[in-house]
Chains A and B, each alone.
Chain A
Amino acid sequence: MTTLAETGAEARLQSEPAALRRALRRPLFLFAAGYLALMTLAALAAPLVAPYDPVATDLDHVLSGPSWLHPLGTDQLGHDVLSRVVYGGRVTLAGVAEAVLTALVLGVSAGLVAGFAGGWTDRVLSWATDIVLAIPVIITLLVVLAVVGSNETAAMIAVGVLGFPALARVVRGATLTVRQELYITAARAFGLPNRTIMVRHVLPRVRGPIIVQTSLFAGGALLAETGLGYLGLGVQAPTPTWGNLVADASTVIDQQPWLLVPSGLVIGLAVLSFGLLGDVSRDASADRRSRSSHRRTPVAARTPMRRPDTEALLAVRELTVGLPGPEGFLTAVESLNLDLFAGETVGLVGESGCGKSLTGRAILGLLPSGGQLLHGGVWFGGTDLSTLDRKGWQEFRGSRIALISQDPMNGLDPTVSVGKQVDELVRRHTGLTGRAARARTLELLADVQLKEPAKVAAKYPHQLSGGMAQRVLIASALAGTPELLIADEPTTALDVTVQAEILRLLKDLQRTNGMSVLLISHDLGVIAEVCDRAYVMYAGQIAESAPVSDLFETPRHPYTSGLLGALPRRGSPRQPLTTISGSVPEPGNWPPGCHFRQRCPLATAECASPIPVAEPVPGHRTRCIHHDLAHASGGGNDRAA
């Protein structure tokens, strides 16, 4: 009966025929639909199908148990149980149909009207839903039955009335979404009457959620019907109903417990089938991506590498990261090399989707679920990080490398106060406890230039502005005095003025604490302001790396030139800003050879073969065979001429 309360059935709208085809391919769907169809047909054709008259008594075979004569046994009056199951379906399934029809007629019309017209209809509906959800169904049914006497139809219609607000709410939600769409607006503009729009255009689109909610409701209605039957309040004996079967069985459990089996099974399977129909239709109309995440992740073998011969604090070698794709892994970061020395601030820059955040997370061993390190490795202070186990990582993260993540507003636990969150990190990394830990917390908050640290510590994340939240996150990252701070788009979500302050803060902290910083950003301007050196990333690869001043003055990769050309601060007066046409190809769609060649103004036939990394000037590397022309190209398709 709780299914009546479980109304959260929210199904996403999708193209219906495709969803239906997907649903039909599932064995569970076929099983559920098949069982329900079989039961309905058997009930309809009961006089033809049932081996015996359901009320014919056979006192020679009482409580017989399954036998050749009576496949499901007999009850205490010698009634054939199989025949009673078949005939019982007539009453029970008819009752369910009554309830479902009532709920559908009321729910769909109310939901369409509320979703389409809005206003007071909407408010009345949500109020009614709240009230009905608060009333226990069975009690209402008992009230109805107390008043009208045992009348199955009245009771089942009452079940339908109680179920309709939940259905109406689902229909309303779906209708609201559809109503926003252009073709509905257009139909309204053409002056089609509202009723026509609703029936012809909206109703077909909200069919999915209606099917889901209705099948869940039907399961609940069936439980309510059998419950009433069990209590002896529905159709009276000797007429069989599925609920009566349980009631009959209950009086003889000490003599023939078998009788519980057919009655429980027939009800259980029917409710289950209704539930499965709903679940499968919901899954099928949900988008495919959510399903692929259930797939088992393939495991790739990685060959261990020798420790790189370098003085660098952080050395990334041949880093190759795979994300789960439709078949096997999709390479999202490919053979990436990166060095970062103590005290240095290095930028990693590229358009969104190029794999730069993934690189940051790979360094910390925090790949998103399903992601895997396929090849290469990360060394920090001479340690191969891939050898760390869970405990090793816990000691490592925060105290050696820390992270400031992209979105400050979602970076803090919303249920814990700021002070307590920083306290936890301080306790974890310094061993301080109680007051001493709090004192250190306040010190950290003051270090990130939060005024009135004590007041901020008492606040919850939702009370902070974006800039404040980012400062708190920086303070959290500093709690373990890490040697390297990875700042992943630390200013993207912030206002321009706040951006500048946060960048200045990072710069100051880097200088006073002597840490290294890996700054990940899509904004070359940000990189220019803070970094000593930068790596330009494109479609999973490093395109170019150089000291920032060289990179800006003589870019040696057409992609870098393109990015520079799109930078407003560098545009020439009265000249349009150039843009790079097209967008970054997604993992799996990278062209062979140079990944950039499809968007590159300098591309030639040779660009389709593998591109070696060149180092035309010491410290300035590029993955372009036309690097001598790159800085002149200006990146734009028009300015090169």
Chain B
Amino acid sequence: MRALILRRLLISVPLVIVVSWLTFLLQHLAPGDTARSILGENYTPEGYAQLRAQLGLDQPLPVQYWHWLTHALHGDFGVSPLNGLNVGTEIGSRLGVTLSLIVVTTIVAAVLGIALGALSAVRGGPLGRMIDVLSLAGFALPSFWLALVLVTVFAVALRILPATGYTPFAESPGGWVSSLVLPVAALAVHGTATVAKQTRSGLLDVLGRDFVVSLRANGVSERSILFRHALRNAAIPVVTVIGLVFVSLLNGTVLVEAVFAMPGLGGLAVQSATQHDVPAIQAVAVTFTLIVVVVNLLVDLAYGWLNPKVRVR
């Protein structure tokens, strides 16, 4: 177990460094230049040189990177050169929105997916085909399109849920829930289908194994075989899939936040991409990578909990 976590950390630390270094490097390979885009119409060679010095852009690259990294480690991602806002504060205020969205979606997808997958493995028939249809839909329909359809139906036509915006939990728990229903629904279809599919195929595989025959032959009830034995064995790959669903939601959230005009990290990423705001996009990329690292660690811990081969030697 310790070895597993250690190995994961050995991948994670370089991962964060590589991501930050790449984003950092890209900004300098680019034709667009922060100092130039700030100056815009007011460009003069002297003003340009002065601004570059002020932003530290005249230093050698490794120095700039080191400077940025040491500050980033303290949560200081610098100041956006475009609007003068502190990037770290900006990230902090938007993190809650994005995390609410993807954590709730992951939970919904995991619970629904496991339940549907288990049911269809045991019952088969129409339910299994329903999951196939659901997973085809989840696979093929873009989440932002699904979100727009949901808005059209539930916000525009039926007027039962808000079309845009986000209410923090602390402000109004009820408002928080209703502001999350549509975005979560749009995002959860794909994840639910993915988890259901893995649960079903994993369960069918486990239910065909020798030990299940032994359990049946010795009189263990089908309910116990399913809940105490098979699900637990099938859960290991399911946990992997849930981890992947979470990572893919970081993609989905960018688009769905745009549909619902939610003030999250995805919105910040899009905004900074269109405005060449490199410090901000860099900070978002690093934040997302850190989230991935944490999720992967949690997945590894779950492995250990589920699989004694990892836990005890």
Q: A residues within 8 Å of B by Cβ?
A: 1-3, 5-6, 127, 130-131, 133-140, 142-150, 219, 223, 226-227, 230-233, 246, 249-250, 253-254, 257, 260, 263-264, 267-269, 271-272, 275, 361, 364, 366, 369, 390, 394-399, 402-407, 410-417, 424-425, 428-429, 460, 462-463, 473, 476-477, 479-480, 486
Contact = CB atoms under 8 A, between A and B. Distances in A.
B15 A131 contact: yes
A130 B274 CA distance: 29
Given A260-B148, A263-B145, A403-B214, 7 more contacts: A1-B252, A136-B250, A136-B288, A139-B254, A227-B144, A268-B141, A413-B229
A148 B32 contact: yes
B140 interface: yes
Given A232-B274, A397-B218, A399-B219, A462 B142 contact: no
A233 B139 contact: no
A219 B211 contact: no
Interface stretch (B58-66, B84-92, B178-186, B265-273): B265-273
Contacts of B216: 364, 366, 397
B93 to A, nearest CB: 19
B30 A260 contact: no
B45 interface: no
7 tightest A-B contacts by CB?
A: A398-B219, A403-B217, A2-B248, A272-B140, A136-B250, A147-B30, A398-B218
Query: Which residue, A264, A407, A480, has most C-beta atoms of chain B within 10 A?
Result: A264
Contacts of A3: 139
Contacts of B14: 131
A223 B209 CA distance: 38
B258 A231 contact: yes
B309 A134 contact: no
Contact of A366 (B217, B252, B272, B293): B217
Interface string B151-191: 11000110000000000000000000000000000000010
Contact of B214 (A226, A390, A473): A473
Given A147-B26, A148-B31, A416-B228, A425 B218 contact: yes
B200 to A, nearest CB: 13
Interface in B239-283: 244-245, 247-248, 250-252, 254-255, 258-259, 269-270, 272-274, 276-278, 281-282
Given A135-B292, A226-B142, A413-B211, A260 B149 contact: yes
A402 B219 CA distance: 8
Per DSSP, chain B at the interface is helix
Contacts of A148: 30-32
B164 to A, nearest CB: 11
B258 A411 contact: no
Given A136-B288, A415-B306, A230 B144 contact: yes
B301 to A, nearest CB: 16
Interface string B295-311: 01000000000111100
19 contacts: A127-B11, A134-B15, A135-B292, A139-B284, A139-B285, A142-B281, A145-B273, A146-B277, A146-B278, A147-B26, A231-B254, A232-B274, A271-B140, A397-B219, A403-B213, A411-B210, A428-B219, A428-B221, A460-B308
Interface of B: 11, 14-15, 18-19, 23, 26-27, 29-32, 136-137, 139-142, 144-145, 148-149, 151-152, 156-157, 190, 194, 208-211, 213-222, 224, 228-229, 232-233, 244-245, 247-248, 250-252, 254-255, 258-259, 269-270, 272-274, 276-278, 281-282, 284-285, 288-289, 292-293, 296, 306-309, 312
A361 to B, nearest CB: 8
A480 B215 CA distance: 12
A177 B229 CA distance: 34
B99 to A, nearest CB: 14
Nearest to A130: B11
Contact of A227 (B190, B255, B282): B255
Looking at A5, A138, A406, A410, the one whose CB has the most chain B CB atoms below 10 A away is: A138
B218 A230 contact: no
A603 to B, nearest CB: 38
A541 to B, nearest CB: 24
A193 B197 CA distance: 44
Contacts of B273: 142-143, 145-146, 233
Contacts of B269: 138-139, 142
A147 B278 contact: yes
Contacts of B144: 227, 230, 246
Contacts of B213: 361, 366, 403, 405
Nearest to B190: A2
B281 A231 contact: no
B285 A410 contact: no
Contacts of A142: 254, 269-270, 272-273, 281, 284
A378 to B, nearest CB: 14
Contacts of A260: 145, 148-149, 152
B227 to A, nearest CB: 12
A264 B309 contact: no
Contact of A416 (B157, B229, B276, B284): B229
Contact of B276 (A127, A149, A394, A429): A149
B126 to A, nearest CB: 14
A275 B219 contact: no
Contacts of B215: 413
B139 A230 contact: no
A264 B32 CA distance: 34
Nearest to B28: A147
A5 B272 CA distance: 25
A139 B258 contact: no
A1 B214 contact: no
Contacts of B245: 2
A414 B233 contact: yes
Contact of B139 (A232, A271, A366, A410): A271
Contacts of A150: 274
Contacts of A264: 141-142, 145, 149
Contacts of A405: 210, 213-214, 217
Given A147-B27, A267-B145, A403-B217, A139 B309 contact: no
B272 A231 contact: no
